[in-house]
Amino acid sequence: MSDVLKRRAFALMLATALAIPAEGIRQRAYFDPPGILTVCRGHTGADVDPRKFYTVAECDALLSADMRRAVALEPGEKVVFSWIVWPDKATADASHAKIMDDPRAADFGEMPFDGKRMIFGGFQSVVDVNNACLKSRLATSTA
């Protein structure tokens, strides 16, 4: 994968990670904090029309197309989107070490997909909207 494609994939992954939980779906174009015209679930590009109201179906189609481009999807392939939420970094690190040391992992053979096209993120949160919402709700309910 070229450096340009890697940067684009990382940008898409980061935009998706931030846009879906933090922004949800915005059906009218807006400028995100860096000043990039954005719509729906973090879609950017020359095709964003600042005058248009996007339907949910159009937003779904944009996200689907963005994901397919990010992984260079080929005919007959599917995009799988998944994640693991760990309570803290120590638990994540310990779990990862146990998985790597598990002798059953040697029996898996070849990877069933092209790992070079996999997009993944790290542990550090950039925005934790859900946690802020939960703290707010807890503070309100106990007051």
Give the model's pLDDT for residue 19: 47
To the query of whether residue 32 is one of the catalytic residues in this protein, the response is yes
User: Is 54:27 a contact under the CB 8 Å cutoff?
Assistant: yes
Prediction pTM value = 0.52
Task: Report the mean per-residue pLDDT for the chain.
Answer: 76
Per-domain residue ranges for the chain?
3-142
Taking CA 8 as the corner, what is the angle to CA 7 and CA 9, rounded to the nearest 5 degrees?
90
Q: What is the pLDDT of residue 135?
A: 54
Question: Among this protein's residues, is 23 annotated catalytic?
Answer: yes
> Per-residue pLDDT averaged across 96-113, rounded?
80
pLDDT tens profile 13-64: 555 555 455 457 899 999 988 889 999 988 999 999 999 999 999 999 998 8
Q: Which of 23, 47, 101, 128 is catalytic?
A: 23
Q: How far apart are CA 1 and CA 9, in angstroms?
A: 10
State CA 21 to chain mean position distance.
Answer: 9
% of the chain at pLDDT higher than 70:
67
